[in-house]
Amino acid sequence: MTLGSPLTVKPAMTGGAKMSDELFRLLREFIYQQTGIYFQDNKKYLLEGRIGKRVQLLGLNTYEEYLQLLKYGTRRTEEMRHFYDAITINETFFFRNEPQFEAFEKTLVPSIMARRGSSTRQKLRVWSAASSSGEEAHTIAMIHLERLRIKYPGLELEVVGTDISNNVLETARKGVYRDYSVRNMPKQFLDKYFAVEDGRYLVRDDVKRLVRFENMNLYDQAGMRQMTNFDVIFCCNVLIYFDTQSKIQVVSNLYNALNRGGFLFIGYAESLHGISTAFKLENFPKTVAYKKE
């Protein structure tokens, strides 16, 4: 296949083909340059399996041809979308880190509201960075509808969910989920904010109206500079895929995206130790948040 030809589907490389160590290193470098994600040596099997499927589907003969296509093919922009879908791990569910949502509702929002003063209408901007299929963003919107808007009648919530994978963003925008996603959901929320159809859970429109989803690569400097004026950022369970240098770059951009007095949450298995000293660490029951003072 020539690099410029259409991506037709024809059988070529058979499933499970081996990726040489050299090609693994080249692909790893390419992925790192584009996304900040760093595949350790022990994750070669993962790339082999996931990219192998694309190589096969496109009727290519080798991983090398695929890398050439990504770099120089006339359809590289289109293939990059599939590529990002293929290499990302999108595990998520509603109310995933409950103590974070508790801290958000009971301490962070009151602290941000107090800082701004009362009476007038107040906008609260929350960013679910690396939102995957949108469960975290929708959780925040539901907490607002359930309690925050009653406590703060002037509060206008805007939640922005972003991810590098278009596949998961499609699910996020539809707001249609399966059992797995709602397994940690308090029953009162499930009954109130979803319609159930054919075993699927459809997020109600008043929740969806508070949230918008956009494609955004956290490692893209130009795009990140557009993200400003956020009061709270949830950037959970994605830093683990980055190396130290890309973590430093991403976290510095997240810091710039926050308003003074705003907060950053990261995942339980993640830490800013050795990554940033710009934030003040604040402790909450069973969780921590990073404050921009």
Ligand X SMILES: C[S@@+](CC[C@H](N)C(=O)[O-])C[C@H]1O[C@@H](n2cnc3c(N)ncnc32)[C@H](O)[C@@H]1O
Neighbour order of strands in the sheet with 200-203: 176-177, 200-203, 194-197
List C-alpha distances in Å: 199 to 24, 36, 176, 202. Answer: 40, 37, 10, 10
| Cα separation, 39 vs 31, whole angstroms | 8
Site pattern 207..246 for ligand X (x: CB under 6 A): ----------xxx----------------xxx--x-----
Contact between 94 and ligand X (CB under 6 A)?
no
Among the listed residues 35, 100, 139, 253, the single contact to ligand X using CB under 6 A:
35
Site pattern 142..181 for ligand X (x: CB under 6 A): ---------------------xxx--x-------------
Contact between 89 and ligand X (CB under 6 A)?
yes
Q: Which is nearer to ligand X, 84 or 194 (CB)?
A: 84
Contact between 21 and ligand X (CB under 6 A)?
no
Comparing C-alpha atoms, which of 79, 49, 78 is closest to residue 66?
Answer: 79
| Cα separation, 35 vs 80, whole angstroms | 11
Instruction: Using CB under 6 A, count the residues that bind ligand X.
Output: 25
Q: Which is nearer to ligand X, 62 or 90 (CB)?
A: 90
Min separation Cβ 164 and ligand X, Å:
4
List C-alpha distances in Å: 136 to 52, 83, 91. Answer: 31, 24, 11
Site pattern 37..76 for ligand X (x: CB under 6 A): x---------------------------------------
Q: Which is nearer to ligand X, 56 or 132 (CB)?
A: 132
Centre a 10 Å sphere on the Cβ of residue 189 and count the other Cβ atoms it contains.
19
Written as six digits, the tokens of 198 are: 């054919």
Range in contact with ligand X (rule: CB under 6 A) among 34-42, 49-57, 176-184, 258-266: 34-42
Residues in 107-146 at the binding interface with ligand X, rule: CB under 6 A: 130-132, 136
Min separation Cβ 8 and ligand X, Å:
27
| Cα separation, 84 vs 165, whole angstroms | 6
| Cα separation, 262 vs 260, whole angstroms | 5
**Residue with the two structure tokens 């959780």:** 139
Q: Which is nearer to ligand X, 122 or 287 (CB)?
A: 287
- Quick check: 246 and 276 in contact, CB under 8 A? no
Judged by the rule CB under 6 A, the positions of this chain that interact with ligand X are 35-37, 88-92, 96, 130-132, 136, 163-165, 168, 217-219, 236-238, 241, 267
